[in-house]
Every structure is written in C-alpha cells, then in structure tokens.
Amino acid sequence: MKLERRSQIMELITRQRTVTNAELMERFGVSIETVRRDLDYLEQQGVLRKVYGGAALNVSLSAEPEYASRAKANYQQKNAIAQEAAKQICSGDTVYLGVGTTVQAMVQYMKNIGPITVFTNALRTAVALSEIPECTVILPGGQVRAKELTLSGFPADENLVHFNVDKAFIGIGGITENGITDFHIGEARLHRQLALNARQAIALADSTKLGVRAMNNVCTLDQIDLVITDSNASRQAVKALETAGAKVIVAK
C-alpha cells in the first residue's frame, strides 16, 4: 500500500509539477503525518522538493517544459488567471504582454476594452492581438526562439528600454518568497527591464509555479505590484508570498 501510494504521488507530481498536502490527504484518505512521511521519502530520493503546503517536481533549474505541453496543462486555471489579468487593463492603456501560455490566454478577454497599445515579444500573441480592431501591436525585434516563437536578445533589449508602459504582464518560470525566476536568459533579462519600465508590473503565476525556482533571477517581489494565481494555490504558498510583501489575487 505504501509503495503503491508513493508511486502514484510520483506520477501525479510528474504530471502536475506541484501537489498540495491537502490534495494528497483527500486523494489517498491519509493523515497529514503520512503525507509528510511520503514527501520526506520522495525528497530524499530526489524526486521532489517540499515547499509551503506541499511539494514541487525536482527538475533542472534550466529545464523549461515544451510549449505544447505547457499550452495544455492547467488550461482552466490559466484562463481564470488570464481573465482576471485582462480586467486590470483600461481603455487607453499602453501595456506589455510577456511570453507564456497564461499571458497569451489574456487576448481572448481583451476584445472589448477599447483603444489600447500593446508591446509583445511573443509572436503568437501578436497575431492574436492583430484581430482586435482597436489594438495597436508593436514588436520589439530580436532573435526568434524556435518552437516558443518569441523574440529576445540584444535588439529586443535595446528597443524596449526606450519605452514605458502602464502595465506589464509577465509570465514566469517560478516564484518564491525570494522573487521571480525564469528559464530563458534572454527573456528573463527582458522581463526584468519591463518590470522597471512599467507603472504597474503584474506577474501571472498558475499554482504549479508557486515554490518553483528556475535558473535566472528576474526580480524581487518588491519590484512586482501584483501577483495573480489560481484557486489551486495552497493557502500556505499564498501567505508566504504575502508575508514577503507581494499583493496576491487568487482568480476563481
């Protein structure tokens, strides 16, 4: 029974990237003490690492999941975050939409805002935005990243440093109380600059990103005005971010 349960936990965390203690207690009908023993064991085996209120998959700091798999994962949660994020945009705003499947999902909720100007280095997002009549889309240039279809590198850095925006929506690789991190060096550098240039910097982080630490530091939490996550986020993880100074909205 114990070995089978731990095997199922391994399969679950490999698929979801994170699990909560409450989720495991409900799924297997066991106590919090049993869950903690299972997570302690799997952490010792190198499968996962314990975070506030649960555990996260122990992946390489530079190992970003493929775009196709990210686009399908946590679809409903990402849409809830995207809808909440789009509510932050007002008619007449100039905004930046960063890379990531959650940020891209915002486009469907931006059709009736009114005239807006959008900078983005994500080609898929730019194409979707071009179908909104009152949206002016600006691409920064740069090197195209295969499969991701994003722009980064010196041309993007050089162009975007000259512009200020009302709101920057930043997709992330991970977030802890120490700050925001990402997997790609060029995109992390770009997002770092945009957080500085924006009147309001907003990080979109589905619950699988909480407690995850990627290779590249983007910024500390005091450089982010708002974090939007989903209702699967554990109370402990949200409280840890708030204690560290972040304002967090949990999208229902």
Exposed/middle/buried for residue 69 (C-beta within 10 Å: 0-12, 13-18, 19+): exposed
User: pLDDT value at position 121?
Assistant: 93
pLDDT band at 64 (very low <50, low <70, confident <90, very high): low
Tell whether domain 2-57 is in CATH 1.10.10.10.
yes
70 vs 192, residue with greater confidence: 192
pLDDT band at 232 (very low <50, low <70, confident <90, very high): confident
Q: Which strands sit side by side in the sheet containing 54-57, from one edge to the other?
A: 18-20, 54-57, 48-51
Q: How far is CA 127 from CA 146, 148, 172, 175, 186, in A?
A: 16, 14, 21, 28, 22
Q: 3-class DSSP state for residue 82? A: helix
- Residue 209: CB atoms within 10 A of its CB come to 28
Alpha-carbon radius of gyration of the chain: 19
Residue 79 has pLDDT above 60, yes or no: yes
User: pLDDT value at position 73?
Assistant: 55
What CA–CA distance (Å, rounded) separates 46 from 42? 6
User: pLDDT value at position 18?
Assistant: 77
From 181, 146, 167, select the one nearest 226 (Cα to Cα): 167
User: pLDDT value at position 62?
Assistant: 46
From 31, 99, 193, 153, select the one nearest 5 (Cα to Cα): 31
Tell me the mean pLDDT in the region 54-82. Answer: 68
User: pLDDT value at position 19?
Assistant: 82
Q: What is the value of pTM for the model shown?
A: 0.75
pLDDT tens across 165-220, in order?
999 999 998 898 999 998 888 888 989 998 899 999 999 998 888 888 888 899 99
Percent of the chain clearing pLDDT 70 (strictly above):
94
E runs forming strands in 98-195: 116-120, 135-138, 143-145, 150-152, 165-171, 174-176, 179-182
In the chain, residues under CATH classification 1.10.10.10 are: 2-57
pLDDT band at 14 (very low <50, low <70, confident <90, very high): confident
Residue 242 has pLDDT above 90, yes or no: yes
Tell me the mean pLDDT in the region 118-130. Answer: 95
From 76, 28, 98, select the one nearest 230 (Cα to Cα): 76
CB 245 within 8 A of CB 78: no
Exposed/middle/buried for residue 33 (C-beta within 10 Å: 0-12, 13-18, 19+): exposed
pLDDT band at 115 (very low <50, low <70, confident <90, very high): very high
Tell whether domain 67-251 is in CATH 3.40.50.10420.
no
In the chain, residues under CATH classification 3.40.50.1360 are: 67-251
Residue 21 has pLDDT above 90, yes or no: no
